[in-house]
Structure 1
């Protein structure tokens, strides 16, 4: 391992350069990384990459899911809960079922159980790929919220399908009542363990004498401990990490200082930036190794099977997207739905086309054991691995490269809010500034007349300024200003809870601004 360290260091440099290139040419970086890994793997003398499944499941997956849970808006997740749940569970199951039936019928030697193994592997879309593409184009907030919410849950549902299919292959039987019991325990137990351990860490942050460095280290440990604890009792580690992450994210301002929040954001973004880069590079690097492991089937036939399964996934997701919208339109006549407007043919197509596969599919495929418990080789293992890699590669190339084009061609004005995000942010800031001025004048009225610095502070908010003068303002005014910042945070949280039409990311942007304001006080 040590002798290959210069190679991995070089790979990291290549990843950084490719991501910078991707941002320059406005292409999703997972596409460039997979292609670059594939090209590098054919260079003579390059070390052979053998990816350990535990490396991805335990090292890569928990922090990536945890960071995604911190970024997602709980309010938006709850608002679009029905369609998110449909995509994360129903659409994933329908995709897995479609793959299972097609594989069983068209691929020689594929039983229905093996088809579900393959279906469970390739059914969940990858959130990183979609997010990397969507940052270059403008889509309605509703679509991005649905995709973010789906990405948190579809990994869990697909892995549950995968596990049950693996049991069916190993035992050559499927007992429904046992599967139903295990399914319930994996979901309920996973969520419960995630919330419990998340609550413990929340109290540890709040009551232990931690500083910002300790807070960040604790946050890095949290997803790993949650995931390992859930997996040890055969629950869904994915759902546990997501549940714990959502709990801690929604209460971040109750137990973390402004400095911990600011530094934590930077650390986590850099950490996940490296993890994502390595994972997609490893996908390309390992493809030739998988190709050499094919036995009993020609390379051309295997490629054909991969293309067939890719088409099945694309078509089934698009059809499911339109089906979900139809059901929502019918359901609005009986229950309250998040958005009663008819999205037409535009939004379902984009939701259906954002089906790039990635990290979870790779990890699940690699976790297939070489041998069964009875000593026999796992049937069709290498072909399943190869098809998975083809699906990842083709969905990244076909859907990943064309998604920006379709989004630009589709006019989403009918789905957009009447005000732009910048206009909403400006209005929120103006309301917040007015609240700040009124709070200071009411609660510190006896000090306003005689305190020039306090007058300046009031003037600052009256003019919607972004900073304060770089001069000492005294401890007394610092106390007042800290009190004001805390009151503003409470106002923003209440505004977020009471107004369901406000995008929570705008509130978080203003919260981030208040954290910066508080940090400035340390140097005044």
Structure 2
């Protein structure tokens, strides 16, 4: 009963965190508010969730990584695949070596293998925290796509590096050949399993839906089970469950392009997944806050492990590690961009040198989060000979502090760096959208005309269908005519469309208020009211782009 009550408090904290963030006179990121609420819950109730890393990984990471892979724009992912791989793989190794050596130099009492393990676990980034921080100062789309793609892949590389470092501490030896082979098996096996599981399940459910019809509830539930199935199967074969979940999400996005799911299924499924993402992300940071009081309570014990007595040394270590993470990331991004521009110039492609502010924003956006917290808690308590794992408490303290400080630094620095940041325009996306709308309108006109001809109606019905068809065709013909205009008329037409959109939104909202009023006065049944409100919501969502 106590665990259920505590879980309800966690969910309530997620809800309240959004309110508090909006009410704050200054821009406070929601993750920081959630961490603070988690700490308050732990201090006031005297109880905290016993965070078991295996359970934490299974409950939260598969669905979140699956959904991120599902929704990430694929054209951006593949367009910037070189940059993403450089950050997700090269930067992780660079960070492990650089920060690991720095930590060992700062704290000689911490063995080199343990220092590398700590550096590895703080190397993965968390795009959820970055997007939450930048809600009031939006991150440029292309930069956000790169950060999301990086975070989808560097989770696995960071955890693998940590596993190798911990194994070296446990056994006292390290084999580069074994490390490369293990990494290849983890990556290739995890990706293959994620793709295979999603492909088999989607083919099977589509086959069944064609034979007996589609049940929306079952389709939504299947989408929820896919990431867990991929994760568990990959872990069973000692592959990367994280990469399996990511690959499953990417495969799901391609499977959904067939359009076989009913519109109702897509609407409900999106609503369910949006709720899961919102809840799981919030609970993760609340759980982090719940762990902080117990971690901070051990600060007096931790400081002795560093060979000092003053706890201020811990603050110095945390600040130094965060500065090193940002500096190494800045250096890596600067060099990688120079190399990318050099290759583009050799191919004769047009290049535009990015500003230092953009590089600094990319460096500061490397916020640590859930993976770091869960990964550091998987460090074993004892070595193979039964002795205590060296500096385990210190490692956990430093990792948790790095998460909080990186959030604070990004929340203060990103709005400043991103404000009025000029980026090269990307007209291709708008052109593709305009072309797609034009083609869709032409296809709609043809389909409506063919539908009308195929009906074979009597004189009275023919007049009714002709009248209705003329109204629908007029809508699509106006769209085609508008798309055919260029130059100075384009801006004028877009203003008209914007005015029309606002007017339609005003009408839709008035309709919905009327539906609610009629329902409250018992002039409209609940079932009919919900149906009408749902229709109004869908039209408004289309007009507002939600």
TM-score range, shorter chain: 0.7 to 0.9
1:22 Cα deviation from its structure 2 partner = 2.1
Over alpha carbons, which structure has the higher Rg? 2
The answer to whether the Cα contact below 8 Å between 1:258 and 1:516 also exists between their aligned partners in 2 is no
TM-score by length of 2: 0.79
SS in 2 for 1:42: helix
The runs of 5 or more residues in structure 1 that have no matched partner are 471-512
The answer to whether the Cα contact below 8 Å between 1:356 and 1:400 also exists between their aligned partners in 2 is no
The answer to whether the Cα contact below 8 Å between 1:302 and 1:383 also exists between their aligned partners in 2 is no
Structure 2 CA distance for aligned equivalents of residues 261 and 364 of structure 1:
34
Structure 2 CA distance for aligned equivalents of residues 211 and 23 of structure 1:
39
Pairing 1:309-324 to 2, within 5 Å after superposition: 309-324=321-336
SS in 1 for 2:368: coil
The yes-or-no answer on 1:364 pairing with 2:372 is: no
The match for 2:295 is: 290
The match for 2:484 is: none
The yes-or-no answer on 1:28 pairing with 2:36 is: no
TM-score by length of 1: 0.82
Structure 2 CA distance for aligned equivalents of residues 174 and 446 of structure 1:
74
Structure 1 CA distance for aligned equivalents of residues 443 and 76 of structure 2:
26
Pairing 1:497-512 to 2, within 5 Å after superposition: none
The match for 1:332 is: 344
The match for 2:516 is: none
The match for 1:349 is: 360
Structure 2 CA distance for aligned equivalents of residues 150 and 336 of structure 1:
27
How many matched pairs? 469
Q: Once the two structures are superposed, what CA deviation does each residue of 1:463-509 show, in whole Å capped at 9, x if it has no partner? A: 55999xx9xxxxxxxxxxxxxxxxxxxxxxxxxxxxxxxxxxxxxxx
Q: Once the two structures are superposed, what CA deviation does each residue of 1:51-107 show, in whole Å capped at 9, x if it has no partner? A: 111122111111110110111011211111000111111112212222101011111
Q: Once the two structures are superposed, what CA deviation does each residue of 1:311-332 show, in whole Å capped at 9, x if it has no partner? A: 1111111221111111111121
Pairing 1:94-493 to 2, within 5 Å after superposition: 94-209=94-209, 210-254=214-258, 255-293=260-298, 294-295=301-302, 296-297=304-305, 298=309, 299-334=311-346, 340-408=351-419, 410-412=420-422, 414-418=423-427, 428-441=436-449, 451-452=465-466, 453-463=468-478
Q: Once the two structures are superposed, what CA deviation does each residue of 1:299-349 show, in whole Å capped at 9, x if it has no partner? A: 333332222211111111122111111111112134588x83322323222
Aligned in 2, Cα 1:250/1:341: closer, same or farther, shift over 3 Å? farther
The runs of 5 or more residues in structure 2 that have no matched partner are 457-461, 480-499, 509-534
Structure 2 CA distance for aligned equivalents of residues 373 and 411 of structure 1:
53
The match for 2:66 is: 66
SS in 2 for 1:256: coil
The match for 1:498 is: none
Structure 1 CA distance for aligned equivalents of residues 450 and 338 of structure 2:
53
SS in 1 for 2:173: coil
Structure 2 CA distance for aligned equivalents of residues 284 and 516 of structure 1:
37
Structure 2 CA distance for aligned equivalents of residues 392 and 243 of structure 1:
26
Structure 1 CA distance for aligned equivalents of residues 356 and 115 of structure 2:
31
1:441 Cα deviation from its structure 2 partner = 4.0
Q: Comparing 220-229 with 9-18, which one deviates more in the overlay?
A: 9-18
Structure 1 CA distance for aligned equivalents of residues 452 and 146 of structure 2:
45
The match for 1:47 is: 47
Structure 1 CA distance for aligned equivalents of residues 441 and 162 of structure 2:
52
The answer to whether the Cα contact below 8 Å between 1:124 and 1:158 also exists between their aligned partners in 2 is yes
Please provide the CA RMSD for this pair.
2.9
Aligned in 2, Cα 1:56/1:22: closer, same or farther, shift over 3 Å? same
Aligned in 2, Cα 1:424/1:11: closer, same or farther, shift over 3 Å? same
The answer to whether the Cα contact below 8 Å between 1:126 and 1:358 also exists between their aligned partners in 2 is yes
The answer to whether the Cα contact below 8 Å between 2:84 and 2:150 also exists between their aligned partners in 1 is yes
The answer to whether the Cα contact below 8 Å between 2:101 and 2:112 also exists between their aligned partners in 1 is yes
SS in 1 for 2:444: helix
Q: Once the two structures are superposed, what CA deviation does each residue of 1:142-182 show, in whole Å capped at 9, x if it has no partner? A: 21221121121111111111111111111110011111111
The answer to whether the Cα contact below 8 Å between 1:129 and 1:400 also exists between their aligned partners in 2 is no
